[in-house]
């Protein structure tokens, strides 16, 4: 289930707010400029290709492209048997920003976005059918867990993709990781 946990960075061991209510999650994230939606998912084969996935969601993707000026969309998929899963997880675990919005729609599986606002960190465990759009310049990091299993549609303004600008802050090392938060959600 989609979960939002809000931490005070001075007390990172305990979330002061946890909710699984999609309307409340949407409202709390909107208050920070984060777009959060839940789209209806399509029945797709487990081995669906990028083209099949993009075709299944072509209306939603076209709407976002027109509304937000995105130029391209692709699909990223990761499974527990990927031999590079450890390196890929590590790549996204440090706090960073981008010069364009980071948009992901979860076609299957789950992943954990951490969003850093002043003294607060919002940890959003996104699940199948969740769309999250992290505005450019937002301090964040992503944890896919030790056994990643997800497929996401990503949208880009720059066809070359996102370039991470790392903040050098160690905040990501002080908060509970995916294993603690995803396990707590059930």
Q: What are the pLDDT digits (tens) for 76-85?
A: 999 999 999 9
Residues making up the annotated binding site for Ni(2+) are 96, 98, 102, 140
Q: What are the pLDDT digits (tens) for 9-61?
A: 999 989 999 999 999 999 999 999 999 999 998 999 988 999 999 999 999 99
**Total domains, the chain:** 1
Q: What are the pLDDT digits (tens) for 131-147?
A: 999 999 999 999 999 99
For residue 184, what pLDDT is reported?
A: 55
In angstroms, the CA 73 to CA 62 distance is 10
Q: Name the burial class of residue 43, with classes exposed (0-12), middle (13-18) and buried (19+) by CB atoms within 10 angstroms of its CB.
A: exposed
Q: Where are the alpha helices (DSSP H) in the chain?
A: 22-30, 50-56, 58-68, 85-92, 171-174, 178-184
Residues making up the annotated binding site are 96, 98, 102, 140
Full residue range of the structural domain in which residue 7 is found = 3-184
**pTM of the entire structure?**
0.94
Q: What are the pLDDT digits (tens) for 95-123?
A: 999 999 999 999 999 999 999 999 999 99
pLDDT of 159 above 60: yes
In angstroms, the CA 32 to CA 134 distance is 10
CATH number of the domain enclosing 100 = 2.60.120.10
For residue 186, what pLDDT is reported?
A: 42
What token pair was written down for 134? 């992290």
- The pLDDT confidence band at residue 158, using thresholds 50, 70 and 90, is confident
Q: What are the pLDDT digits (tens) for 162-171?
A: 788 999 999 9
CA distances from 147 to 17, 128, 131 (A): 26, 16, 21
In angstroms, the CA 34 to CA 104 distance is 12
Residues making up the annotated binding site for Fe(2+) are 96, 98, 102, 140
């Amino acid at each position: 289930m989609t979960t939002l946990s809000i931490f005070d960075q001075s007390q990172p061991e305990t979330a002061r707010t946890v909710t699984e209510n999609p309307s409340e999650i949407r409202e709390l994230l909107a208050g920070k400029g984060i777009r959060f939606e839940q789209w209806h998912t399509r029945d797709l084969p487990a081995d669906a290709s990028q083209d099949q996935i993009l075709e299944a969601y072509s209306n939603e993707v076209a709407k976002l492209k027109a509304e937000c000026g995105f130029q391209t969309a692709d699909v990223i998929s990761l499974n527990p048997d990927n031999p590079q899963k450890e390196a890929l997880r590590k790549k996204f675990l440090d706090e960073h920003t981008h010069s364009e919005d980071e948009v992901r729609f979860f076609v299957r599986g789950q992943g954990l976005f951490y969003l850093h606002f002043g003294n607060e960190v919002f940890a959003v465990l996104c699940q199948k059918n969740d769309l999250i759009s992290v505005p450019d310049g937002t301090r964040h990091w992503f944890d896919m867990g030790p056994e990643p299993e997800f497929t996401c549609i990503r949208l880009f303004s720059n066809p070359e993709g996102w370039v991470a600008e790392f903040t050098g802050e160690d905040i990501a090392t002080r908060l509970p990781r995916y294993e603690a938060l995803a396990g707590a959600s059930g």
